[in-house]
Amino acid sequence: MNPFFFCRRLIVVSFLAAACFALRTPGQNAQPQSPAATSNSPQSAPPSTAADDAAAKAAERKKRFDEAKKRLENSASQQQNGSDAAASCSYSPNDLSLSPALVNIVVGETQRFSLFDQAGHKLTAQADWSVSDSSIAELHVESDGPVLTSKQKGTVRVQARVDSHSAEATVNVISAEEMKPGTIRWSAPPTPCAKTKGIVVAVPSGGVR
């Protein structure tokens, strides 16, 4: 055999053997990933949905509604239990009722009043009207009824009298800064023998915030 061709074949065979060894080495040396490493990879928590948020808000609104209703019912129950007149349900049709019975007013504002007996007759024009302190609020009797004009901070009582019967209203004159949101502006007089059957909390048409 020609020595040249023998050496050439030997070189080719050696090259092929080296290439095959190089191809097999990465596969033999590769380490499989352990199951533990795969299981320890952090998993992202599922995002909260819009339905979950709406349900949480609805539950919070219902909780606040129930708390407010309970406070109002307890207050009404205490007032009812503490009233001997309501318990005995004894009153005269000639008893007078002045409306509003309680007023919170800002300095410079005005308030009108009306007088009724327990039969529902309006007696505003027949009554004699007076105010306890004219330096705090001044009372003017006009053709359609009395008008109270507040002058400075303080508390006064407005009185209406017909014959031997009379009724009073309390007026608190405060500053504009003291008139916080939610302050009661006025309240009607109590109705004799009336009992509270239930209280519903007023909710704005746009929902509770």
What are the domain boundaries of the chain? 96-178
DSSP letters for 83-113:
-HHHHHT---TT-EEEESSEEEEETT-EEE-
pLDDT for 193 beyond 50: yes
pLDDT for 191 beyond 70: yes
What mean pLDDT, rounded, does the chain reach?
Answer: 76
Angle at 174 between CA 171 and CA 176, to 5 degrees: 135
pLDDT for 201 beyond 70: no
pLDDT for 46 beyond 70: no
Give this prediction's pTM: 0.53
Q: Which amino acid is at 171?
A: V
- Residue-wise pLDDT for 141-189, tens only, equals 998 899 999 999 999 999 999 999 999 999 999 999 999 888 889 998 8
Q: Of 23-27, 52-56, 78-82, give the lowest mean pLDDT range.
A: 23-27
- Is the domain 96-178 a CATH 2.60.40.1080 member? yes
pLDDT (0 to 100) of residue 77 = 62
Q: 194 CB contacts (<8 Å, ≥6 apart)?
A: 86
